[in-house]
Amino acid sequence: MSQTHVVPENPVAAELPRRIRGFALRVLPILAVLHLYIGWRLLPVLAYGTGGIIIGVTLLCLSTLLLPMGILSRFVVTRQPLADRISWVSALTMGLFSSVLVLTLVRDVLLLVVGSPSLTVVTAQLVVPIALLVTLIGFINARRLARVVTVDIPLLGLPAALVGFSIVQISDIHVGPTIKGNYLRAIVNRVNSLNPDLIAITGDVVDGSVQQLGADTAHLADLKARHGTYIITGNHEYYSGATEWMAEFRRLGLYGLLNEHAVIEHDGARLVMAGVTDYSAHLFDPAQRSDPAAALVGSPTGVPRILLAHQRRSAEAASAAGFDLQLSGHTHGGQFWPWNLFVRLQQPFTAGLHKLDGLWVYTSRGTGYCGPPKSFGAHSEITLLRLGQA
């Protein structure tokens, strides 16, 4: 007898018709203007005759329409395989469009500075080939298994029994239309091969509902560590139904931390592992406002305190609350050039290990990718963190 897996309705999904209309009204005009700019700057140079102009305009129009379809297809296409294929085409188009746009801007700046008419044609001819090459390299980087990055964290007063304590952090996998179970299974196998004391997942695991992706995320149940796997929400969990997902993660054997903590006993020593909801969680549910201080209520004093917080922006509150180390993600290290140059305007620590007062903050570049399957200048990572004495 077959059984139907019933998932509670996502409150965000209940208002999707309004969101879709608002999305289209906001995004399509912007995309149209950007594509017009590319056409204006390149087509008169590259398109030979009326036929070339028509082909160029057609491709630009198709790109304008395809870009938002990656998001919209999940809600307007009822057949999951078809929605995923549309998302793949949209994501690849987005990656290529991004490079074409940036290179067109770079070309215009170059022509303005150099002022040589002889460069007009040759620079226009280089835009698309370079964009295609960058997109191909970025695709290969994004789709290959994330590399292991080892980071030593020196903590003041760390008990001798905790020296060498290992935490494997994975973050921002974004299981969804283009990242499926086989991709996640390879990550799980690599993590397990590191034999960590504890595994930390710092949010943005999914882009889609439990009903859509539950079979793919089931591989998380195979994660193995001496003290288990702890997980927090990222902003994308709230787009996808955070309550349902945290219940699913717990069903798989993961320990969810929503402004909560756990005390880890290790060879006679203790440490506090705490987690907060995403920095923006209150915009989706006021009851889930991120609160590092609340996560420590009732915790023992005089022991190392580690916080899992999806966004680095929790660091000031984490420092004030008395944490020693914060593990974050969210940024993807910018994912691909030149957007990695702008991420720090919102997230001061784009990637790597930094110090804020007495708090160490490690920001992962992510273990998957967000949006286009493209990673250029910011490789994804599985992070092996080892605690040491300062």
The per-residue pLDDT for range 170-209, each reduced to its tens digit, is 999 999 999 999 999 999 999 999 999 999 999 999 999 9
Predicted pLDDT at 48? 77
Q: How far is CA 171 from CA 135, 153, 347, 365, in A?
A: 23, 18, 16, 8
| Single-letter residue type at 125 | Q
Candidates 307, 293, 303; CA nearest to 257 is 307
277, 302 contact by CB (below 8 A): no
Instruction: Specify which residues 54 forms β-bridges with.
Output: none
Q: Is the pLDDT of residue 14 over 50?
A: no
Q: Please give the Cα distance from 156 to 290 (Å, whole number).
A: 26
The mean pLDDT of 239-250, rounded to a whole number, is 95
Per-residue pLDDT tens digits for 207-221: 999 999 999 999 999
Strand order in the sheet with 305-308: 260-266, 269-275, 305-308, 325-328, 359-363, 352-356
DSSP 93-128: HHHHHHHHHHHHHHHHHHHHHH--TTHHHHHHHHHH
Q: How far is CA 29 from CA 36, 39, 63, in A?
A: 10, 15, 13
Q: How confident is the model at residue 301 (pLDDT cuts 50, 70, 90)?
A: very high
CA within 13 Å, CB half, 39:
19
pTM value surpassing 0.85: yes
Predicted pLDDT at 24? 66
**Among 45-49, 126-130, 283-287, where is mean pLDDT lowest?**
45-49
Per-residue pLDDT tens digits for 43-68: 999 877 788 899 999 999 999 999 88
Which DSSP helix (H) or strand (E) runs through 70? helix 49-76
Q: Please give the Cα distance from 95 to 285 (Å, whole number).
A: 32
Per-residue pLDDT tens digits for 343-360: 666 666 788 999 999 999
Average pLDDT value over all residues in the chain:
90
Q: Please give the Cα distance from 376 to 103 (Å, whole number).
A: 14
Q: How confident is the model at residue 244 (pLDDT cuts 50, 70, 90)?
A: very high
Q: Please give the Cα distance from 336 to 328 (Å, whole number).
A: 19
Q: Please give the Cα distance from 245 to 260 (Å, whole number).
A: 17
12, 238 contact by CB (below 8 A): yes
Question: Residue with structure tokens 């809600």?
Answer: 75
Predicted pLDDT at 78? 66
Q: Is the pLDDT of residue 10 over 50?
A: no
Strand pairing report for 198-201 and 229-231: parallel
Q: How confident is the model at residue 115 (pLDDT cuts 50, 70, 90)?
A: confident
Q: How far is CA 295 from CA 106, 227, 243, in A?
A: 47, 19, 18
Rg (the chain; Cα; Å) = 23
Predicted pLDDT at 51? 86
| Structure tokens that stand for 64 in this block | 């304008």
Q: How confident is the model at residue 76 (pLDDT cuts 50, 70, 90)?
A: low
Domain borders along the chain are: 11-142, 146-389
146-389 is classed CATH 3.60.21.10: yes
**Among 74-83, 114-123, 168-177, 271-280, where is mean pLDDT lowest?**
74-83
Percent helix, strand and coil across the chain, each rounded to 5? 50, 20, 30
Q: Please give the Cα distance from 178 to 183 (Å, whole number).
A: 9
The mean pLDDT of 294-306, rounded to a whole number, is 96
Q: Please give the Cα distance from 354 to 343 (Å, whole number).
A: 16
Predicted pLDDT at 335? 80
- Is the previous residue joined to 338 through a cis bond, with omega within 30 degrees of 0? yes
| Single-letter residue type at 20 | I
| Single-letter residue type at 159 | P
Q: Is residue 119 packed enough to be buried (19+ CB in 10 Å), middle (13-18) or exposed (0-12)?
A: middle
Q: How confident is the model at residue 376 (pLDDT cuts 50, 70, 90)?
A: confident
Q: Please give the Cα distance from 21 to 40 (Å, whole number).
A: 28
Predicted pLDDT at 341? 65
